[in-house]
Homo-oligomer: A and B are copies of this chain.
Amino acid sequence: MKRKKIPDEAVRRLPIYLRGLLSLSEQGYENISSKKLADFVGVNHSQIRKDLSYFGGFGTPGIGYNTENLRRQIRKILKLSMVHKAALVGVGNLGLAVLRYPRFGIFGFHIVAAFDNNPKKIGRRVGNITIEDVSNLKALQQRKIKIGIITVPCEAAQETFDKLVAAGIKGILSFSPCYKKGRKKVKVITIDIAMDLARLPYYIATRPTTRLAKRGR
């Protein structure tokens, strides 16, 4: 295995495996075969072995993968071994929900700052974070925050995006559907709730037998 180009799709599946391994290790599995993990997470077993082989041989023929070790390896590949500091911009309903979202911890994320442009919100506390004015975004670099979460309304998305990039942010999770120009050296992952919902009716009652597509995304 000589570091060929690694499919983006393989990277997208690693967190799925990680979450599966977490459950299975809680269930007491010390070792796990690609077959068993495959059944559990709903991915083909060859796929799992292939995906893992891009990064190295973590298994033992005849035995499978050591659950703890594989978890550690995947966390390392995804750079989740360290804790990542994230900043959230836009403390509306969705922003609040994300701030209070309980499950970031298991992947090593920590939202350490929240920003809004509404004077009424600035200074308020959510959990143990105090909402700051967006003008403070400039200082993100000094605070070693490399990940941004955008939960502002559509109109403000481009401006927020530009500010985050200017502040040296390296990765952005955006809930805003609006198209961003000028992304460069910044990885952007967009979650567009309305758009995902918009695909649903197409699949309803169209097909005599539902195709059970790969996985909802």
Cβ < 8 Å to B, chain A residues 1-19: 8, 11-12, 14-16, 18-19
User: Once bound together, how far apart are the Cα atoms of A41 and B181, in whole Å?
Assistant: 10
Q: Is B98 touching A96 in the complex (CB atoms < 8 A)? A: no
Q: Which residues of B contact A184 (CB under 8 A)?
A: 210
A202 adjacent to B93 (CB under 8 Å): no
Contacts of A146 in B (CB 8 A): 204
A45-53, A56-64, A101-109, A130-138 - the one binding chain B: A101-109
Closest residue to A84 on the B side, CB-wise? Answer: B201
Compute how far the CA of A14 lies from the CA of B41 in the bound complex, rounded to whole angstroms: 28
Chain copies in complex: 2
A129 touches B (CB below 8 Å) = no
Q: Do most interface residues of chain A lie in helix, strand or loop, or is the interface mixed?
A: mixed
Q: Is there a chain B Cβ closer than 8 Å to A183's Cβ?
A: yes
Check B174–A216 contact: CB distance below 8 A: yes
List residues of chain B with CB within 8 A of the CB of A190: 215-217
Stretch at the interface among A28-36, A116-124, A156-164, A192-200: A192-200
Determine the chain B residues whose CB is within 8 A of the CB of A202 once the complex forms: 11, 14, 77-79
Contact A103 B200 (CB under 8 A): no
Is A199 touching B78 in the complex (CB atoms < 8 A)?
Answer: yes
**Contact between A101 and B193, CB atoms less than 8 A apart:** yes
Chain B neighbourhood of A171, CB < 8 A: 200-201, 203-204
Q: How far is the CA of A72 from the CA of B46 in the complex (A)?
A: 42
Given A14-B202, A107-B195, A107-B197, 18 extra CB contacts under 8 A: A8-B213, A11-B202, A15-B192, A77-B202, A78-B201, A79-B201, A93-B97, A97-B97, A101-B194, A103-B154, A104-B194, A106-B194, A171-B204, A173-B197, A173-B200, A187-B200, A187-B204, A190-B217
Q: List 10 A-B contacts (CB under 8 A).
A: A11-B199, A41-B179, A80-B201, A93-B100, A97-B97, A171-B200, A172-B200, A173-B197, A183-B212, A185-B209
